[in-house]
Structures are given as structure tokens and as C-alpha cells.
Amino acid sequence: MVRLESPMGYRRSRQVPRGPNKPRDAVVIEMNWNDNPWFPDVLKREKDEDYLADPEMAEHVWGGNYQVVSEGSYYAHLLVDAERSDRIGDFPYDETLRLRTSWDIRLDDYTAIWFIQDDGNMATVVDYCETSGEGADDIVATAMPEIFIPPRQDSRFRGWDRVAALATIKRWVPYKYHSHYLPHDVKVREWGGGERSRVQILAGYGLRGIHKGAATNPADRITAVRKLLPLTRFNNTPAVQLGIKRLRRYRRKWNDSLGSYTTPEHNDDSHGSDAFGEYAINCGIHPPQAVPKPMPKELSFTVTPTGAVISNMTFAQIMKQRERRAKRGLR
């Protein structure tokens, strides 16, 4: 088997190591524990326990698959679960749902933007964009041509065409934006705007509904993302796959002196992950709360001739009933 990287992570190929075509007159057979008629019960129990405890690692150990989740990763196992639950698939932009964007802005590094819709219960990632070393005008013109207002004094945008810009990114249905979540420091005077803040600069290029994010620490964002990912679907496009890759590779730093993982590692993957964390903190989507079952109007407790107990009562209710019956001299 050879190891190939796919959009879902690393996968096995049934090709032999010598290349895409098996050698002439070769017979290639894949075998595993389930092909062993003498596979002992003790190993079967161990295998089943491993699959219950950590299905992905068990698939690596027992199934022969390559390990997708690297040690120290924050979200990789949740994304594997999304793939297995068919939450990575054909989920395009829906004109009936609100669309919100979530940003992580870096002047000399990646700027990442997620495009996410929701119905109040489930989030759907429809698009993702990241750029490096570009100004606010180029970012909005490229990622959000639907709303971009070209600066008149900039010769680079003379003749800029909205329809052509949308066609370039293959966005055949223009997006309608509801709001935009930006980092908590978005109002600082940077981004080459002189005395203007980032909010003023972006508003000048067409963004409306800008929300300043909460000043949270990385641990809070990570917790929020972990809660949101089981409630998230991903549109399976090359752009969104890049965002998924950023989330999958977001990991802790390893400290050799301590012999353990510490804080999040800052690299190319952290910007997209921080942008998704901005959305998770602010979106207002939470796991559904379990609705307690209503108590029955009539309580019953019956012992069958075989000694089996049939009851809709809790243990505490049964004990209280026995106490009351004992006081009345009943059995």
C-alpha cells in the first residue's frame, strides 16, 4: 500500500509500492484479521474495545488504514466524524438562509474568511477564502465581488467588472450577506489606511453589518469550535476543502522539556482555525438540549409470578411507596 493525501486526509491506495500499475504476472491480495478463521476471542474483544474507545485509531491499528489524526490535533477526529456522518458533501449556498462571514485578519500573513449559513440549529459552510499579503481592497474584490465598491482613485480597478469577478471564482449564484464577524482588534488604525480603522476601510469597500468579535483566549475558541463542529456541514468544494485542511491540521505545540503538548501552534493553519473560532464564539448555535420525558399521570408497580418487576416509577418513588405501605401495615 502507498500513502496518498486526499481532501479527507491520508488514505490508502490499492496500488503496489512500485507504481500505479501492478507488476506483470503479480497477484496482489489484501488481507486482515477478518480473513483469519482462527482469530481468537481475546483479540476480538480487544479490537471491539479499541473501536469503542477510539474508532479512528482502531481503524489504523486493526483496519490497516493510515493514521489521519496526528497527535496533538484539536479538531481532526471531529472532522473524521463529519465525513463518516455524510456532513461533508453537496451543501451549496441556499438563498433562503442568512449568510455570515467570519474573519481572521493578518497584515503580513494569511487573512482567512469563512462563509457560513445556518438555520438556527445547523451551520453550513458554503465557501472559504484565504489570501496572503493583500490589502483590504483586493480581498473584498476577490472574495466578495457582490458588494465590492471599487475605489475611484485606484487605477488598478478601472474597468473592474462584477460579473467577470464572480465568474472568475465560479460563483454562479451571487451571495447575499447578513453580517460579518471580525476580530476584536478590528478597530485599530492599521491596514495602510492612515487614520481610518479596519472597520472604516472595509465599510468603504462595501461591507455592511460588521460585528467586532469578543476578546477571547484560544481555549475558549477551541471549546466553542468543538461544540459547533458536530452541528456543522461542509460544502465539498476545493475552497472549503482547504479550510477543512486548516482545521484538521490545527494542533498543540510540543514542548520537549516538559514532554507534553502546550499552547496552540502558530502556523499557516492557525489563521483559518482562528477565523472559524470567531464564528463559533459569536454564531449563537448550541447543541440541542435534551427534553426531559414527562412523568406518567398514573404510577404503577407490578411484580410478576416469575419475580420480574414492571413499573414506570423511579427507584426513589418505589421506596417512598413501600414506606407508605409499611406504615399502613400493607405488604
Q: What is the pLDDT of residue 78?
A: 92
* Torsion-angle region of 100 (φ positive above 0: left; ψ -120 to 50: alpha; else: beta): beta
pLDDT digits (tens, 9 = 90+) for 240-266: 999 999 999 998 877 767 666 677 888
Q: Which architecture characterizes domain 88-282 according to CATH?
A: 2-Layer Sandwich (3.30)
> Could you give the CA distance from residue 169 to residue 187 in angstroms, rounded to a whole number?
29
CA dihedral 197, 203, 207, 209 (to 10 degrees): 80
pLDDT digits (tens, 9 = 90+) for 140-158: 999 999 999 999 888 999 9
Cα distance from N-terminal residue to C-terminal residue, the chain: 70
Of 266, 286, 284, 263, the residue nearest 217 (C-alpha): 263
pLDDT digits (tens, 9 = 90+) for 81-99: 999 899 999 999 999 999 9
Q: What is the CA radius of gyration of the chain?
A: 28
What residue segments make up the domains of the chain, in order of their start? 2-68, 88-282, 293-331
- Categorize the per-residue pLDDT at 62 as very low, low, confident or very high, splitting at 50, 70 and 90: confident
DSSP 43: H
Q: Which residue has the higher pLDDT, 281 or 10?
A: 281
> Could you give the CA distance from residue 95 to residue 110 in angstroms, rounded to a whole number?
29
Distance of alpha carbon 109 from the chain centroid = 23
Point out the least confidently predicted range of 112-116, 203-207, 216-220: 216-220
Q: What is the pLDDT of residue 9?
A: 44
